[in-house]
Structure 1
Amino acid sequence: ALKKILGSLDYLEYLDSYRYPLAGEFSFRVDVINDIRIPSDWGLEIGVLSEVKRNFSTNRLCQVDIADCYDHKHQNLSVDDAQAGLSKMSIDISKGIFRKLATNGVVFSTETFRSIKATYYRIALDFIETYRNDATINGLVLDIHNEEKAVELFAENVLKAGLHFLDNPMETPFIPSWNRVQSAVPDIFASLCAAVDDDYREFA
């Protein structure tokens, strides 16, 4: 939907290159973490991917399968509570993407977000039909009603996230980078090591 409205931007192509950008597992060298500003909400995965793209060449980034079988933690849809479950996740993730696009020069307006919402809704409904056909071929049943309820919620949340972004231009949902923490508290690492040693002595 974003590509259709905004065009084929480098950042969108980058996110689209990942098979599962919301996987939630990352591994990187210690020096990488120093200058990364990690979001403190459910935009964590998108935020980390955005930060490493900003700081490093993409030929230093890759995705891997960590297991043959993976049991993913599932969240409730939370239709009636925008501060919980998949509802909150969808809002936070959308805000994270909008913020990053804005730093790349994309100018948003209420009309833009309405168009993104409408486009997402239509595309998502088409995907549900595709998945229903796949399920039928494989002898499975897809709950069309609940799938469309989820799509309706996510479409609404895309607009909510966009309006929140417009109404709160000074919002800074990032955890300070380690470089900033060390600048503010020069002995932070020594203090952390001491705390770990104290815990070890107390609980070992």
Structure 2
Amino acid sequence: MSDFYQDGIITNFHPLAQRELSELEYELQVFSGRNTMGLILPSLYSELEGPALDKIVDVLAQVPYLEEIVIGLDRADHEQFLHAKNFFSRLPQRHRILWNDGPRLTAIADQLSAEGLAPNEPGKGRNVWFCVGYTLASRRSSCVALHDCDIVTYDRRMLARLLYPVANPNFHYDFCKGYYARVANGKLNGRVGRLLVFPLLKSLQKVYGNSDFLDYLRSYRYPLSGEFAMRTHILNNLRIPSDWGAGDRRIVGSPPQHGHQPYLPGGYRR
């Protein structure tokens, strides 16, 4: 039977009826006249050598509504940076590569660190921190999506469903997060969520009593998912951990009254 779970203080969007991708993308193009859309891709150089990112770039090259794509490149030397520029050059959208190990960003990071303003630990959190800073400075995107670069089953519908609720000017959502069934190849996945996160939240509620904040966290179907989108005006107040504390820290930093989850069908995240 269809999953129509709706119990909590956030909205769950279920695909009870499949809309045509062309219809979704047409509406997103219309919305882009008012709410421009961007995408952040935090990536290790090693991911350029895998099958997932190559497919992701091919898919993104067909997306008609994105204003800007910001790529954060980690663990790359000069030759690898040049290869990355060529790798992403097939994207027709405006795109910028932040070479985190390059001399220019290293100098900026040193200057910010001297003032106690930048994350000191290398990692995905630091990568995303700089990508967010660039996105805010460029002022080209009213809303922005972010996802990992290792999704081998990536397609255009995933990005469209992720951005649609925050890009639609008739909706009042500022933040959304994807979720999907963690069942694949005859295995029940998602052990960290099932065995740690949800029992921990339940225990905290038993110890500290009723809490709107804990109710908010428990309302997420899959709090550790790595796909989310938001309107850029809340980025200034989003605390990004340098060690990239999975999805829970990002929903902790987002406003509870504006959260929702679009369902990303089960095969999407492998």
Give the TM-score normalised by the residue count of structure 2.
0.23
Normalising by structure 1, what TM-score? 0.30
Q: Which has the larger radius of gyration?
A: 1
